[in-house]
Every structure is written in structure tokens, then in C-alpha cells.
């Protein structure tokens, strides 16, 4: 059983509150900014390493504040170079993150929740119950750790981040956006927002809220069927967020942001890979400027689906392209370590 730590988490303490703390303890106000720089720009998780702050001040901080750090429980490397990391959180819950290397990119796939509440039929994470949301510092820490591991193995850091791991980012909206702010801020990791993608199973009102809040990252919609009857069967969220409501939200999003949308479409043999399915997808794709990522399905325990053949996948992609819908085929990475799309389920 985890007992509540009486000390405050330094990383969920605002700059204003930290400034007030220093002033109340007879310290200079600028100390708060120094600490925030160590915490967010240099990603330190130890007061002892804050070398431009006196030992007395560091001791004062340690008396009142702590770091809710995550630890690496396990790390697996796929035959294709993909790395899967299981992170142990301060309360002993586990989430997973993945680094996917290609010739031009090093992409971190990170989680926003412990488990997931959406129960999509084709996703291993959906078989887990949702335990809790991750705090923004826990999301940020995944990026820091995956970036460090990437540099160690490949000699260069991350180029891209996708919020496509465990959980639904838009159901942890505030922490997701705050983590992005910490990752993109010049006072944080200073990564470009255009290199970050939020992937959602499709929550219409929250897609509109992204637009209203002027969020500058990219948006990907896990579509997987452009027919309500089929999508209802594999994604329960569609019952409250129909394709019509999603189309309306995406039109609003594009109007407000001017950004294209990416549709993630996992191909299931004899379910959503027919010519009629392609026609439905083309019709849905006409709503806003977009591109389609056709994803190779990855089998999960007790899964009811099978992967479409390479021939069918190629035919599907070519049909989309023939009708002016940009389509890319994403071959799975990390299948041998259960790190591929839809396979994250804390199996080690």
C-alpha cells in the first residue's frame, strides 16, 4: 500500500507558489525560477544537483518538496531496433512507452493513462481497466527517459513524439496539454510543436476544444471504419461520437487551425478492407484536408481479428490514392516484443 507523501511534488507546484514559498522563508524570489529551470529545462530529479543553489536552500527544498519520479522496470529491444520501456510510477502502477526508429526519425510513443476506459476490440490496452490519469510530469518524464535511451543507443535524440500509447489523451486533457507545454517551451525541452501528434479515438467535443484552445500540435484520429455500424462494433466510443459528429468537429478544427488531419486506419481481414470500405473512407476523407495511415494489424491475446494480406493492403492504398486521398502503409514495428500499435498491455 502506498502512503501519501506529506511533501508536495515540486513539479506540480506553480512558479508563483514556489516564489511565495521562497519569500515566506526569507529567500530571494529569483530562486524559484532557478529551480524551475533545473526541473524543466535540465530535467533534474534531485535537489542535490542544483549547483547554483546553496546547500541550505537545497535542504529547505528537500524538507518540503519531493519528486514523483518514474523508474524503468524493464527495457526490451526488438530485432528491428524498436525499444519498449515499462515505467514504474511512484504508486507502483506501470505504463509503457516505445521508441520507434526509422532512417529519418526517432519517434517516442508515450502514454497518458494507466490502462484505458475505451475498450476498443482490437487493442490490448483496451482490455485493461483504467486505473488513473497520468500527471503532466509523468508524461514529460517518459519523453525525457526515452530521449536519453535513444541518444545512448543511436547517438541522437528524439525527432517526434506521438501521444498514442496507453490511454486516451483527450480524456486526460489538462495534463496532456500541460505536458506539451513543458515539452515545447523554451523553458522546458524546447521541442517543436509540429513534431508532436495527439492521437484520439474520437471525442467530438474535445476535438473542438483543441481548436478553441489554439493547440498547435498535430491531430490524428483512430478511425478504423468509416461506417457507423462497423465502427460501433469495434469502438464503443462511436456510439456517443458518431461519424457525423466527428466530421462536424473535424471541419470546425480545420477551420479554426488550418491544419490537416491524419486518419489512422488499421486493416482487419474481411472486416474493413473491402472496396466498399475504401469508398466509405474516401467519402469521409472529403470533409477536411487529410492523409491516411493504413496500419498493419497486430494480433493480441484473444483477438477476434486477423491482419489483411499485403496484397489487399496494397490494393486498398492504391484505390485511395487513385481517388486523391493521400495514403501511406505503416508496417508494424516491434511486434516481437509486443510493442507494436495496439499491443501495449504491460506484458514483459
- C-alpha cell of 198? 495527439
Whether 138 is catalytic:
no
Of the candidates 27, 96, 145, 264, the residue annotated as catalytic is 96
User: What CA–CA distance (Å, rounded) separates 147 from 159?
Assistant: 9
SS3 (DSSP) at 267: strand
**How far, CA to CA in Å, does 123 sit from each of 220, 327, 341?**
17, 22, 8
Whether 96 is catalytic:
yes
Cα angle, residue 267 at apex, residues 264 and 271 outer, rounded to 5°: 125
Of the candidates 109, 123, 266, 341, the residue annotated as catalytic is 341
List, as one string, the DSSP characters of 165-224. Answer: SSS-GGGGHHHHHHHHHHHHSTTTT---GGGEEEEES--HHHHHHHHHTT--SEEEEE-S
Q: Which helix (H) or strand (E) holds 32?
A: helix 30-36
206, 246 Cβ separation under 8 angstroms: no
Q: Catalytic residue positions? A: 96, 341
Amino acid at each position: 500500500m502506498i502512503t501519501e507523501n506529506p511533501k508536495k511534488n515540486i513539479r506540480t507546484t506553480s512558479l508563483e507558489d514556489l516564489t511565495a514559498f521562497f519569500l515566506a522563508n526569507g529567500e530571494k524570489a529569483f530562486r524559484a525560477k532557478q529551480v524551475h529551470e533545473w526541473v524543466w529545462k535540465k530535467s533534474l530529479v534531485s535537489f542535490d544537483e542544483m549547483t547554483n543553489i546553496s546547500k541550505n536552500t537545497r535542504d529547505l527544498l528537500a524538507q518540503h518538496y519531493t519528486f514523483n519520479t518514474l523508474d524503468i522496470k524493464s527495457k526490451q529491444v526488438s530485432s528491428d531496433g524498436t525499444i519498449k520501456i515499462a515505467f514504474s510510477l511512484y504508486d507502483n502502477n506501470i505504463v509503457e512507452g516505445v521508441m520507434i526508429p526509422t532512417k529519418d526519425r526517432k519517434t517516442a510513443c508515450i502514454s497518458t493513462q494507466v490502462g484505458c476506459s475505451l475498450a476498443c476490440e482490437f487493442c490490448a490496452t483496451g482490455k485493461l481497466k483504467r486505473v488513473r490519469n497520468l500527471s503532466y510530469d509523468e508524461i514529460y518524464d517518459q519523453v525525457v527517459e526515452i530521449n536519453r535511451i535513444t541518444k545512448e543507443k543511436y547517438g541522437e535524440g528524439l525527432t517526434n513524439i506521438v501521444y498514442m500509447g496507453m490511454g486516451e489523451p483527450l480524456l486526460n486533457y489538462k495534463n496532456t496539454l500541460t505536458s506539451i507545454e513543458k515539452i515545447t517551451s523554451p523553458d522546458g525541452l524546447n521541442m517543436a510543436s509540429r513534431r508532436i501528434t495527439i492521437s484520439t479515438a474520437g471525442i467530438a467535443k474535445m476535438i473542438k476544444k483543441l481548436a478553441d484552445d489554439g493547440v498547435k500540435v498535430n491531430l490524428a484520429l483512430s478511425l478504423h471504419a468509416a461506417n457507423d455500424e462497423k465502427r460501433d462494433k469495434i469502438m464503443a466510443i462511436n456510439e456517443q461520437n458518431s461519424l457525423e459528429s466527428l466530421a462536424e468537429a473535424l471541419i470546425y478544427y480545420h477551420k479554426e487551425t488550418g491544419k490537416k488531419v491524419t486518419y489512422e486506419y488499421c486493416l482487419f481481414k474481411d472486416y474493413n478492407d473491402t472496396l466498399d470500405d475504401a469508398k466509405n473512407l474516401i467519402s469521409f476523407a472529403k470533409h477536411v484536408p487529410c492523409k491516411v495511415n493504413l496500419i498493419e494489424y497486430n494480433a493480441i491475446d484473444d483477438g477476434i481479428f486477423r491482419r489483411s494480406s499485403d496484397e489487399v493492403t496494397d490494393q486498398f492504398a492504391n484505390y485511395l490514392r487513385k481517388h486523391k486521398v493521400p495514403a501511406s502503409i505503416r508496417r508494424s514495428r516491434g511486434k516481437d516484443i509486443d510493442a507494436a500499435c495496439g499491443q501495449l498491455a504491460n506484458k514483459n
